[in-house]
Amino acid sequence: MGFKEVFGLLPEASAQAPGRVNLLGEHTDYQEGYVLPTPVPYFTQVEAAPAQGQVEAYSENLGELRARPLQSPPQGDFLDYLLGVVWALRASGHEVPGARFYVRSRLPMGAGLSSSAALEVAALKALRALYRLPLSDQEVALLAQKAEVEYVGVRCGLMDQMVASLGEVGKALFLDTRTLAHENLPLPPRTRVAVLDLGLKRRLAEAGYNERRREAEEAARRLGVRALRDVADLCLVESLPSPLDRRARHVVSENLRVLKGVEALRRGDARAFGELMTQSHRSLSRDYEVSLPELDALVEAALAAGAYGAKLTGAGFGGAVVALVPEEGYAAFKEALEARFPQLQLL
């Protein structure tokens, strides 16, 4: 199948966007902190043609064609993301009368690799080309987040959409989510980023994510700061009642780890960078309590198999583990993990 077979005409624009893993800076982006994600070389591609008054889309992966008028509320399917980006563009004053989309993706869904951000950003870039919209890549990311938060109804930060729009494969995007200042930094030489997916279903992820956001907001309020980004001294968190002290300790220490990680990248120091990733995981597990026993075991197994460092990636409560592995040890790493976890998908 292709665009022509589904819609009887040729597409007039196309764009793609990658998924991501986050190397450092987990659960910091909704407290105006620092993040350091990197795109994975798996893309969602969107082809587009104009339409009037509706959004129509075919998903090659799902084998589904769906259409709804522009004013429709979200219904919990993939079309929501596409209606969402058209809605966000129109709400921001751009003239977009509707669209037809053909979507194909090599990104596994539900592994925590931000397939939704990749779809939103690819669709926005296809619409930008189709309707010649004067939008920068950063504006694309902000519109994608607006679609996800205000239309689809998922309270996410800005990390996923920024890296899907501005990231470069082989580089980490150092982003300050307060100022939006960003820089693409090369990953350490002679390393590989491995994504370890056990196919773990997320458990209560949305409820857990929103609860952590509330806890972080409450901790910031009690500490008298606009966001936990503003807490430079880790000792300050000890005055908070449990569990807010642990939640704030994670966010404050995680911001420091991103800054140290950036220095390690500038030195090309894979060992130091990996150590920070592992510290991040332990903090996510013990203090932020968003890990699962299976993810903890996978991190330990990755370290035992020779990784410089490993951590869960994304919101947690399921999803994948990311590991930084020495290039020359990759074959042995893969073999050891595949022997131990027969259901493991290594990306």
State which of residues 208, 274, 314, 326 lies at the interface with ligand GLA (CB under 6 A). Answer: 314
Instruction: Report the nearest approach of ligand GLA to the CB of residue 41 (Å).
Output: 19
Angle between helices 137-146 and 115-130 (to 10 degrees): 120
CB of 32 to ligand GLA, least distance (A): 12
Q: Number of H helices and number of E strands within the chain? A: 10, 11
Which is nearer to ligand GLA, 59 or 280 (by Cβ)? 280
* Residue 211 CA from chain centroid, whole number: 19
What's the closest the beta carbon of residue 205 comes to ligand GLA, in angstroms? 9
Q: Which of 3, 7, 30, 43 binds ligand GLA (CB under 6 A)?
A: 30
Contacts of 21 (CB under 8 A, 6+ apart): 37, 38, 40, 113, 193, 195, 313, 314, 320, 322
d(CA 300, CA 78) in angstroms, rounded, equals 35
From 206, 105, 115, select the one nearest 156 (Cα to Cα). 206
Is residue 207 classed exposed, middle or buried when 0-12, 13-18 and 19+ CB atoms within 10 A define those classes?
Answer: exposed
Looking at the annotation, which residues are catalytic?
160
Stretch that binds ligand GLA, among 2-10, 22-30, 53-61, 301-309 (CB under 6 A): 22-30
130 versus 143: smaller Cβ distance to ligand GLA: 143
Q: What angle do CA 11, 17, 19 make, to 5 degrees?
A: 140
Contact track, ligand GLA, 137-176, x by CB under 6 A: -------------------xx-xx----------------
- CB closer to ligand GLA, 105 vs 161: 161
* 275 sits near ligand GLA (criterion: CB under 6 A): no
In whole angstroms, give the CA distance from residue 163 to residue 37. 7
Residue count of the chain = 347
Q: 293 CB contacts (<8 Å, ≥6 apart)?
A: none
In this structure, the strands spanning 191-197 and 171-176 are: unpaired
- Which is nearer to ligand GLA, 47 or 254 (by Cβ)? 254
Q: Which window, 25-33, 44-52, 235-243, 330-338, contacts ligand GLA (CB under 6 A)?
A: 25-33
Q: Is 287 in the site for ligand GLA (CB under 6 A)?
A: no
**Which of 120/275 has CB closer to ligand GLA?**
120
In this chain, which of 7, 11, 24, 26 binds ligand GLA, going by CB under 6 A? 26
Please identify, using beta-carbon distances, which residue of 56 and 160 lies nearer to ligand GLA.
160
Pairing outcome for strands 171-176 and 34-50: antiparallel
Contact 322, 23 (CB under 8 A): yes
Interface pick for ligand GLA out of 13, 21, 24, 27 (rule CB under 6 A): 27
Q: Considering CB under 6 A, how many residues would be counted as binding ligand GLA?
A: 11
Binding residues vs ligand GLA (CB under 6 A):
22, 26-27, 29-30, 156-157, 159-160, 314-315
